[in-house]
Amino acid sequence: MIGNLQCVVLDCAEPAVLAEFYRGLLGGEVDQPDRRWTLDELWSTLHTPTGLVLCFQGVDDFRAPAWPDPERPQQFHLDVGVADLDAAQADAVALGATLLDAGAACRVWRVLADPAGHPFCLVRE
């Protein structure tokens, strides 16, 4: 082993806004002091209850993914486990997510995008 994963970093136009969106989706504390980085208008963090840290990096020329368009691919995505897909989808949309693909009735996931356009999946546990 060479090292340990410290965080997952998402590029975006508004780091604080995206951190608050994910706090609403996953819980946790936004911009908790941490010796590993400095918080400012171009860097915001979310320490989740599970220990995962998401970081949000401001980028001047951010171009949101346009899933499923291969010209602007998703780059990566998060899977969020949920007990009730319908309720989780409604809650995520109320926080500012956009539904991208509800899929067939037999599917066990839904594809949404966060306010900055990054796709993520709600997956039935």
Give yes or no for a contact between 118 and 77, defined as CB atoms under 8 angstroms apart: yes
Answer whether 8-58 and 78-124 agree in fold. Answer: yes
Position 1 confidence tier, pLDDT thresholds 50, 70, 90: confident
Domain boundaries, the chain: 8-58, 78-124
CATH placement of domain 8-58: 3.10.180.10
pLDDT given for residue 104 in this prediction:
61
pLDDT tens for each residue of 7-58:
999 999 999 999 999 999 999 999 999 888 889 999 999 999 999 999 999 9
First and final C-alpha spacing in the chain: 30
pLDDT tens for each residue of 68-86:
888 888 777 888 989 898 9
Position 105 confidence tier, pLDDT thresholds 50, 70, 90: low
Query: pTM of this prediction?
Result: 0.82
Report the distance separating Cα 1 and Cα 121, nearest Å: 29
CATH placement of domain 78-124: 3.10.180.10
Give yes or no for a contact between 100 and 115, defined as CB atoms under 8 angstroms apart: no
